Every structure is written in structure tokens, then in C-alpha cells.
Amino acid sequence: MHIRLITLEKRLCALGMAVAGVLLVALMLMSGANVAFRVAGRALNGTFELSGYFAAVMIALALAETQRRRGHVEIDIFTRLYSARTKRWLGAVNVLASAALVLLLATQIAFRASVLLKSGEVSETLKLPYAYLMFGVSFGLYMLTASFLTDFILIAFGFGNLGADAKDKLKVRRDGTVNSIRGEIG
């Protein structure tokens, strides 16, 4: 069961990263075109507005994959002295609380987007219905919630843990890169 759960999480994260990649390419092309048009004396309208929207959606869609790969910064100054059992249960409570918080945030953003869509709210410069982009952000946060819940199930039911040894196996090794505060310098 846990293998299917991890596979589903991985596929959802891959979808989010694919859309984020398309947005990144669009953002780069748009910025490059804007620079070229500025040099020619005529800037493109709305690039600043679209850049902000694309960046927000892109970041939201990348959060779940970053969580899945254990790419977020983690500080263990207080917990490094705890027993393995205490770390496991604190980790379970932490990811469950994180899931609840992100779920609440995603739901509020989706609700706000639906209200804006019904009222006909549009962006200031381009007059775009930006509520659809808010739904994209909400989707990214729902994926992050799913990633947190997957971690909770793995920790709480003993399929795995998020201890340093398990995280080291999940991390991609890159020579010359420091992956923790204690470093891997030498």
C-alpha cells in the first residue's frame, strides 16, 4: 500500500513540476522578448504582471516536489539530542500540523478564487481573470498537503522515517555541494 501511495505522490509531483517548467520557460521567453522590445524602443505591456502571476504558480507547484525530495532547510538544534522514538513522533506531529495548515491555506485560496471568478474580478493591466492562476496556486498547495500526509503515513505507521539516514538516501548527491548545516566539507 505504501508503495502505491509513494508512486501516486511522485506522479502528482511530476505533473506539478512539468507545469512549473512550462511556466518557467514562458517566463524566460517573455522576459527576453521584453528586453529585446525595450532595446527597440517599445516595451511589452503586462510583462511585470504576468511575471508575478507565473512566479507564484510556479513556486506553489514546486513545493510538493521539494518536500518529497527533502529539499527544504531543516534546523535540528533542539531535536538532535532526542531519542529516535521521540524524533519519529515529533516528526509525525510536525508533518500532520503542516498538512493541516497548508490544507487550510489552499482551501482559503480556492474559496477566494471562486469568489473573484463569480464577481468578474480581473487584473489591473491586462484585464485577465487571475482567479484561474489562484486555482493553480491552490492546486500546488493541495499537492504539498498530500506530500505531508504521505510523510505522516510513512512515519506514523512505521513504513519509514524521516531520520537523517532515510533523508540521506533520498537526497541527490552533488559533489561540491553542502547539504546540511554541519556540511559535507572535506
pTM of the model: 0.78
Per-residue model confidence (pLDDT) at position 184: 43
Domain edges within the chain: 2-170
Along the 186 residues of the chain, how does pLDDT read in single tens digits? 556 767 777 888 888 889 999 999 999 999 999 999 999 988 888 888 999 999 999 999 999 888 888 777 777 787 888 887 888 888 889 899 999 999 999 999 999 999 999 999 998 888 989 999 999 999 999 999 998 998 888 888 876 655 445 545 545 555 555 544 444 444
Report residue 17 CA to chain centroid gap.
9
Per-residue model confidence (pLDDT) at position 2: 57
- Which of 184, 97, 111 has the alpha carbon at shortest distance from 145? 97
* Separation CA 116–CA 58 (nearest Å): 21
Report residue 140 CA to chain centroid gap.
6
Residue 62's Cβ-count burial label (10 Å; 0-12, 13-18, 19+) is buried
Per-residue model confidence (pLDDT) at position 102: 97
Per-residue model confidence (pLDDT) at position 160: 60
Q: Residue 69 in contact with residue 171, Cβ under 8 Å?
A: yes
